[in-house]
Each structure stands twice: as structure tokens, then as C-alpha cells.
Amino acid sequence: MLEGFDQVQQRRLKLERIRERGVDPYPARARRSHTASEAIVAFDEAEASGNDAPTVQVSGRLRAIRVMGKSTFAHIEDGSGRIQLYLKRDDLGEEVYDVFKRDIDVGDFIGVEGYLFRTRTGEVTVRVELFELLTKTLHPLPEKWHGLKDIETRYRRRYLDLIASEDVREIFRTRTRIVTAMRTFLDDQGFVEVETPTLQSIYGGAMARPFTTHHNALDMTLFLRISDELYLKRLIVGGFEKVYEICKDFRNEGVSTKHNPEFTQMECYWAYADYSDMMWLTENMVAFIAEQALGSTQFMFQGQMVDVTPPWRRWSLRDAILELAGIDYMDFPTLEALWAEVQRRELHVSPQPTWGKLIEELLGEIVEPTLIQPTFVKDYPIDISPLAKASSDDPQHVERFEIFVGGLESGNAYSELNDPLVQRERFEQQGLGAKAGDDEAHPMDEDYILALMHGMPPTGGLGIGVDRLTMLFTDQTSIREVILFPHMRSED
């Protein structure tokens, strides 16, 4: 009698029948004595000690129903796992049993009460004496065996992806363990977690294009932060010695397997430390996170064993490019000369607006893919590092490093530039770059310079991309696999 209707219509008819019996298909609460996994443990313990099988109340989503005439097996799933149910007409009565068969579907949430037993095949099972509908589901779930494979649907309707795939659920649990471990490590090191503005009147702290928005009441342009760096350093000026923030940054650039327009970053600043201290902090933090999130400092990434046990390799950028590209960029001190040499060697890199950016491009294209084991690439050209302090013995370079693991850049750190007059000059240099066509140049920030004029002690700073770190730890090559709701174009 229901044939010819689509599945949503069929379920709505079932919903009406349920309501007609005076049953609320969306009750406000559920009774639950055990989770699914707790119930199984309780039975195992009772069995081992010779006690009576416990009676339990468990609730969850129906994932499978196997009707065999006057008895039915089913599985429900809650956050802890699955447990089998056994319903018999003789236990429930014909009317109640038929209601289950007719109006309850896979996907519905139900609560059951009954005693536990072990089936002939050995599975701990609830022999159901009472059941209650907790939530009627109107739309069918993805297919039970193949699951949900369409990538677009997986991202747009992540809840279906999570229902269908334990592997996906585990990726996001790992992500949470990573963030929790990161906090634990920093807290234990005496860092103070703070919150700084997402809406900023001048963006800064990174070389990127911002998202722009508008404050109506104040009639002013605001930017979504591309970084929280300059605010965290103001806190160092204010006397905090160790601060960190884990927050979303927003960068108005292309979407790729490595870039989402909003992404999560941890930044921390440590007064009286320098970039060498930040290397120590980084390798110990990542090793701690790996231990906490994965249970080991060694793990597989794309078929290769990665070992994040400290100490990590330290390699100067100049040496790395010399060894892998064959170019000592200091021999080609202008954009034109370096670009000519790059072309002469037929290196596979794209043209850049500045000398430093071209070096960065060489790093990204030629060095980065080779760095599978964790590596600090250090000592960067000064013109791509406007917030970092120059090396005392090499004014062309700054005390800066980036973190590379699994062929992916996942962090950035430096000895912070704290000379306000030099900082102003660096911003002015950036302004020249902007005029020359670099739309990622760092803007002048007088308010930040004013803060530095009040004195920031020598400070080390570090930023780590939480999404990238999660990719590494969960063996994923697309950032969209580690962001619950990645950015997508509108479906319309």
C-alpha cells in the first residue's frame, strides 16, 4: 500500500501513524543506564563473576534490522559503538512487535530496555522487553555496505559522512586529541591562553590578502584576521611572558588541497626566548602531541615512516636551495639575476614579484617536497620576513625557521623583531613591494610600532597550522579531509 511513494513520503506516513497512536515521535528525553560499550562490558563482567545478566537501558540509532518473522535482530549505535538487539513477538506482544516491524526504520533513534544475553554466535545482545521511539528519521541513510563515496556530498553533508564512516569519525577525534594535547603541552610549559580580535582595523602578521568587511555603526572597514601575531606581541609588551592562542585565521586566496580560506592556527610567543628556543619548543610539542594523539612519535604518512622524535634536522634555507637546486642565491642578489639563473637551469618554478618571493618559491617547489622527516629550514631572506629579527652576523637574513614534515610546510617561527624604528623601515620596504605589485605585502601598522616603542623584550614566536598537523597525523593529503565543514561553493 505504500509502494509508489518515495522513501521520505513513506516515512512521513509512518510518522502520522505513530502520532495517531498518541506516541510522541520526538520525545524530549531518553532513559539510558549504559552506553552500548558499557553494556557489553557489564555483561562480560557479570558473566565472568557468575552473576545474573544485568538489565540495561540503551539508546541509539538503528543501523540494521533483520526481521525473521516473529523475531527480529537489530543493531543500534551510539557514540560508544554498536550493540545488538533481539526482539521477540512473544516478549513484546503482537501489537507492539508489529509496530516495530511496520513503523520503525533503519536510521531511527530508539531506546530499549531488556536483559543482556549472549547469542549462539557469541554476540552480547539486549533481549528487548520495552522499546521507545526517540527520534523518527524521515530521510534514509547512505547505503550500509558501500557507505557514502561522493566527495561533494561527503563535504557538504558531513553528518552523513560521519554516520557512514568510522574512519572519518576517527580523523576528527584525532584532530580533537591534537588540539587538546597542544593545549596541555603549552599549559604545562606555563603559556597563558588568550583571545585577541578576529575583526581587525589593520590586518597583519602574515603575508596574505585579507577578507574585508564593514562595521555599519562605526562606518569603518574591518578585516578578518590573517594572523593574530601582532596582538599577541602587544601582550608581550604588556608583560605577559608566555602567551598562546588557537584560532581561525582567514586568507583570501585560492582553495586547494592545502588551503582553506579559513584555517586554524596556534600561535605562541615566549619572552626572553629566541628562535632556537622555539625549535626546542616545537619539536618537543609535536612529539608530545604525537604521543598523546597517536600513541607514538613514529607514524606512517603516505607510505613512509615519519619520526618526530627530537631533535629534528636543522638546515639553512641557503644550504637547502644550494644542495637541491644548485643555486647559491647570494650569488644572484637581485630578482632579475636570480630569475635568469632559475631559467638557465630550467627549474620548474613560476615568476615572482620580488627576490625573496622567488627564493620562497624555490623552497616550496624544490625543497619542500623532499622534506619528509621533520626539518627546520632556517635563516630566511630578510625581505620576506618583515617581522623577524635580522641575524647579528648576517644582515641579509633573519632568525626564522619553517617546519617541514611529510613534504608539507606546517609552521613558521622567528626571533621577533622588537626594534620599533627598524620595524617601521621594514614596513616601509613592504610598502615599496606593494607598489611594485606584491598584493601580499605587509601593510604599515603604526599602532603596532607604537606598542614596540614602549618596549618588547627579546621574544621568540611560533605559529603551527593545526589543519596541516592533522593532515600529517591522520595520513591525509587534502585539507578538506581534516576540516569538518570545508569551504564549498554555493550549490545554487
Give min distance, CB of 78 to RNA, in A.
16
Please, which residue, 29 or 348, has the CB nearer to RNA?
348
Examine residue 65 and tell whether it contacts RNA (CB under 7 A).
yes
Please, which residue, 143 or 394, has the CB nearer to RNA?
143
CB 442 within 8 A of CB 204: yes
Which region, judged by CB under 7 A, interacts with RNA, from 19-27, 147-155, 201-209, 378-386?
Answer: 147-155
Give min distance, CB of 95 to RNA, in A.
14
Examine residue 489 and tell whether it contacts RNA (CB under 7 A).
yes
Examine residue 123 and tell whether it contacts RNA (CB under 7 A).
yes
Examine residue 90 and tell whether it contacts RNA (CB under 7 A).
yes
Examine residue 6 and tell whether it contacts RNA (CB under 7 A).
yes
Residue 491: count other Cβ atoms within 10 Å of its Cβ: 6
Examine residue 270 and tell whether it contacts RNA (CB under 7 A).
no
Examine residue 69 and tell whether it contacts RNA (CB under 7 A).
yes
Give pairs for 358-365: CB < 8 Å, separation 24+.
359/317, 359/321, 359/329, 359/384, 360/384, 362/321, 362/325, 362/327, 362/329, 363/317, 363/320, 363/321, 363/402, 364/409
Please, which residue, 121 or 216, has the CB nearer to RNA?
121
Please, which residue, 50 or 145, has the CB nearer to RNA?
145
323's enclosing H/E stretch is helix 317-325
Examine residue 155 and tell whether it contacts RNA (CB under 7 A).
yes
CB 475 within 8 A of CB 301: yes
Position among 38, 73, 294, 453 found at the interface with RNA (CB under 7 A): 73
CB 313 within 8 A of CB 375: yes
Examine residue 480 and tell whether it contacts RNA (CB under 7 A).
yes
Examine residue 144 and tell whether it contacts RNA (CB under 7 A).
yes
Position among 29, 48, 49, 68 found at the interface with RNA (CB under 7 A): 68
Examine residue 151 and tell whether it contacts RNA (CB under 7 A).
yes
Position among 39, 112, 148, 266 found at the interface with RNA (CB under 7 A): 148
Give min distance, CB of 441 to RNA, in A.
20
> Residue 458: is it exposed, middle or buried by C-beta count within 10 angstroms (0-12/13-18/19+)?
middle
Give min distance, CB of 436 to RNA, in A.
19
For residues 177 and 200, give the distance between their C-alpha atoms in angstroms, rounded to a whole number: 30
Applying CB under 7 A, the site for RNA has a residue count of 60
Examine residue 122 and tell whether it contacts RNA (CB under 7 A).
yes
CB 378 within 8 A of CB 275: yes
Position among 60, 111, 142, 463 found at the interface with RNA (CB under 7 A): 142
Which region, judged by CB under 7 A, interacts with RNA, from 67-75, 208-216, 261-269, 284-292?
Answer: 67-75
**Residue 331 CB-half CA count within 13 A:** 9
Examine residue 95 and tell whether it contacts RNA (CB under 7 A).
no
Examine residue 478 and tell whether it contacts RNA (CB under 7 A).
yes
Examine residue 150 and tell whether it contacts RNA (CB under 7 A).
yes
Position among 52, 145, 217, 437 found at the interface with RNA (CB under 7 A): 145
Examine residue 64 and tell whether it contacts RNA (CB under 7 A).
yes
424's enclosing H/E stretch is helix 420-435
The alpha carbons of the chain give a radius of gyration, in whole angstroms, of 29
CB 148 within 8 A of CB 165: yes
Give pairs for 304-311: CB < 8 Å, separation 24+.
304/372, 304/406, 306/372, 306/373, 306/374, 306/405, 306/406, 306/472, 307/373, 307/374, 308/283, 308/374, 308/405, 310/280, 310/283, 310/284, 311/283
| Cβ neighbours for 75, distance < 8 A, ≥ 6 positions apart | 62, 63, 64, 82, 83, 84, 85
Position among 35, 59, 125, 385 found at the interface with RNA (CB under 7 A): 125
Pick out residues in 368-427 that bind RNA (CB under 7 A): none
> Whose grid coordinates read 628556543?
277
Please, which residue, 107 or 210, has the CB nearer to RNA?
107
**Residue 343 CB-half CA count within 13 A:** 9
113's enclosing H/E stretch is strand 109-118
Please, which residue, 238 or 364, has the CB nearer to RNA?
364
Give min distance, CB of 72 to RNA, in A.
8
Please, which residue, 62 or 271, has the CB nearer to RNA?
62
Residue 220: count other Cβ atoms within 10 Å of its Cβ: 11
Examine residue 106 and tell whether it contacts RNA (CB under 7 A).
yes
Task: Tell me which residue of 246, 248, 306 sits closest to 471, measured CA to CA.
Answer: 306
* List of residues contacting RNA (CB under 7 A): 1-4, 6-7, 10, 14, 64-71, 73, 75, 84, 86, 88-90, 102, 105-106, 117, 119-123, 125, 139-140, 142-153, 155, 254, 256-257, 348, 350, 478, 480, 488-492
